Homo-oligomer: A and B are copies of this chain.
Amino acid sequence: MAQPNNKIDHVPEPTLRRLPWYLSVCRLLKSRGETYVSSTRLSKETNIVASQIAKDLSCVNIVGRTRVGYDIDNLLEVLENFLGFTTIHKAFLFGAGRLGKALLNDTGLKQFGLEVVAAFDTDPRIIGHSTAGIPIYHINDLEAKMRRYKVKIGILTVPIDNAQEVADKMVVWGIKAIWNFTPLRIRVPNDIVVQNTSLYAHLSLMFNRLDGMECANDE
């Protein structure tokens, strides 16, 4: 399954988190017709010090050329490949409510390597229907659909009351990675990958910083 570029050993997580930023800058510069980018320029665009950028890129075996910098096409190819955006990963979505439907409609995910092939819910009013061309099945059909689609990724967008129960079902039927959008910490076996993306947790961080900033300005 893994691409040759994924064989790169143990990229530290902070580096992993920064790589998509460099990728975005490269995409932007390419769309403006540029062919090379210096680490100084990358630094200016990302607010990350140039030496850190050079270190991060060397983790994925990218080395810049003195004076010219990095070849943008090469950087794009290596980063997109390494970040998994060039391989389509199929996924099931669990919970086709507000947020779930929003994600089904977000065709941008496919550009980044994620294709949602089916959704699951328990609401009889939506089962048998589809959103953005993606069929919605009853959660009880999961076993059969897992056999048919051979999916490894599950997106969790159910209400918190069902989050753990649905996560348990995913694991039983063979899901290996859960993208958890609920604000609940789900418990899974050690060999299951969980990526938490809680919009509400981010929202509270922002409110808190904004209030702090205003208190500071009032003083």
Contact = CB atoms under 8 A, between A and B. Distances in A.
A134 interface: no
A18 to B, nearest CB: 9
User: How many copies make up the complex?
Assistant: 2
Given A23-B183, A45-B185, A184-B24, A205 B107 contact: no
Interface stretch (A33-41, A64-72, A122-130, A194-202): A194-202
A203 B101 contact: no
The interface residues of chain A, by DSSP majority, are classed as helix
Contacts of A184: 21, 24-25, 28, 45
Interface of A: 1-2, 6-7, 11, 13, 16-17, 19-21, 23-25, 27-28, 31, 45-48, 83-85, 87, 89, 98-99, 101-103, 105-109, 112-114, 152-153, 160-161, 176-177, 179, 182-185, 187, 191, 193, 195, 197-211, 213-215, 217
Given A21-B184, A113-B203, 16 more contacts: A1-B214, A20-B201, A21-B185, A23-B183, A83-B208, A85-B200, A85-B204, A98-B106, A99-B106, A112-B203, A153-B206, A177-B210, A177-B213, A191-B217, A193-B209, A197-B199
